[in-house]
Amino acid sequence: MQRRRKKPRGKRQAGSHTQGAEPLKEISPHQFEWWAVDLVNARPAKDHKKGADTGIDGYINFFDDKSGQAKQVIVQVKSGHIGRNHVSELKGVIEREKAALGALITLREPTKPMLTEAASAGFYEPKEFPGRYPRLQILTIAELLAGKKISFPEHRVETFAKAERKTKTQQEWLF
């Protein structure tokens, strides 16, 4: 009888995180897209109906000023082999939709030409919020599962006026 070698404990390799994502992609590419969109806390695009691909799988709305106008991060998910042309297409979708940022989520590691194309999109710099954010970001499923997030202004806008806080002794006169 042979003994099995125990797997080393500690830091997991990036590839081991995505083992469950591969079968999901094989079963249903649409289910994989929905799962990946949810992984970045994005709102799914449309009703997930199959049909013509507009290049948008999800949206993240954010506020970076006091105008009340939401800005958008467009999320696109690719599970197969990808190349520079996919990054270029997303760049076009960002321009067409007048979105502030775009994120390409992929199962595979990006190639150097993909990273170069993404960098050519430049940066988004909000006027009333500090920071610079890459206009087009490429994230792998492994990076997302390891805790990496899409970089965008996460400014909270207070939408409701807060009531003044009262203690119990101040409220007793009501009863």
Mean model confidence pLDDT for the chain? 80
Determine the pLDDT at residue 9.
42
| pLDDT mean over 14-36 | 66
CATH tag, 33-150: 3.40.1350
Q: Higher model confidence: residue 10 or residue 138?
A: 138
From residue 64, how far is each of 13, 71, 111 by CA, in Å?
A: 36, 8, 31
Please give the backbone phi and psi of residue 109, each rounded to the nearest 5 degrees, phi first: -70, 140
Q: Where are the domains of the chain?
A: 33-150
What's the confidence (pLDDT) of residue 97?
94
Percent with pLDDT over 70 in the chain: 69
Question: pLDDT: is 88 or 80 the higher one?
Answer: 88
The pLDDT value recorded for residue 173 is 60
